[in-house]
Amino acid sequence: MVRFIMLGGPGSGKGTQALKISKDLNLTIIATGDILRQGITQDNGLGIKAKEYVEKGELVPDSIMIEFMKKRLLQEDVTKGWVLEGYPRTAFQAEELDFLLEDLVQKINYAIYLDVSEETMIKRSLSRKNIDDKLETIQKRIQLFKQRTTPILEYYQGKHKLITIAAEGTIEEVEQAIFKETKVIN
Ligand code: AMP
């Protein structure tokens, strides 16, 4: 049973790699950024709550995200293993996730951190067309990534779960590096 957490700043390739890995290993992907953006487009309950934050590049409050994940991880499709993409994003989310997984008797195998320069984050994000891929918003997201998300790298390091991947290369190179480090294939 494979359970991965994919960590990285905006434009780090975490969405692309999470999708590829989930397809290759037949895992359920839970990509919170995509789920929120979709919720905003569909104007559903979660989207309405999240809109003002996502559009400004702010983090959606922990309480909303934790409540969402509690329900999501109880759904049937998570039993085949999963990749979380963009979650957890704060120390509080990381700790709450551990409590939740303890209750569910599930353990993560690895937290995979895709390490890229700030320049790459900006360049890649600007080439996309999401509602939150405008320069000012991207800069806010990078700042929040540094302030709020990088501390959780240490959290997973302390639990001997962290794998750092140099992720400036091509999609294939990065995926191969992930497989090599996690030894899930070969
Ligand atoms: P992403 O596509 O992962 O970069 O996420 C896009 C946006 O969705 C972020 O800038 C946040 O506004 C919001 N978001 C996604 N995941 C989370 C999370 N775990 N906690 C708080 N906000 C989140």
For the chain, 186 residues long, the average pLDDT of each consecutive 10-residue run is 96 97 96 97 97 97 97 96 97 97 95 98 95 95 97 97 98 96 76
Q: Using a 6 Å cutoff on CB, does residue 68 contact ligand 1? A: no
Q: Dihedral angle at the C-alpha atoms of 83, 62, 157, 171, nearest 10 degrees?
A: 40
Chain centre to alpha carbon of residue 162: 14
**88-97, pLDDT tens digit by residue?**
999 999 999 9
DSSP annotation of 148: I
Q: Using a 6 Å cutoff on CB, does residue 60 contact ligand 1? A: yes
pTM confidence score: 0.95
DSSP annotation of 58: P
When the candidates are 3.30.930.10, 3.40.718.10, 2.60.40.10, 3.40.50.300, the CATH number that belongs to 2-25+79-182 is 3.40.50.300
- Give the chain's largest Cα–Cα span: 44
Check residue 184 and give its pLDDT.
Answer: 76
Chain centre to alpha carbon of residue 182: 17
| Residue entry with tokens 């709450």 | 96
Chain centre to alpha carbon of residue 93: 12
Q: Where along the chain do its domains lie? A: 2-25+79-182
Q: Using a 6 Å cutoff on CB, does residue 13 contact ligand 1? A: no
Q: Can you name the residues that pair with 163 across neighbouring β-strands?
A: 112
Check residue 144 and give its pLDDT.
Answer: 98
Q: Using a 6 Å cutoff on CB, does residue 54 contact ligand 1? A: yes
Report residue 110 as tokens.
């690895």
What's the CA-to-centroid distance between 37 and ligand 1, angstroms? 9
Ligand 1 atom nearest to CA at 56: 12
Check residue 185 and give its pLDDT.
Answer: 63
Ligand 1 atom nearest to CA at 65: 20
CA 86 – CA 38 distance, rounded (Å): 15
Ligand 1 pocket test target in 5, 6, 36, 90 with most atoms within 8 Å of CB: 36
| Run of H or E residues at 52 | helix 45-56
Q: Reduced to 3 states, what is the DSSP secondary structure of residue 84?
A: strand
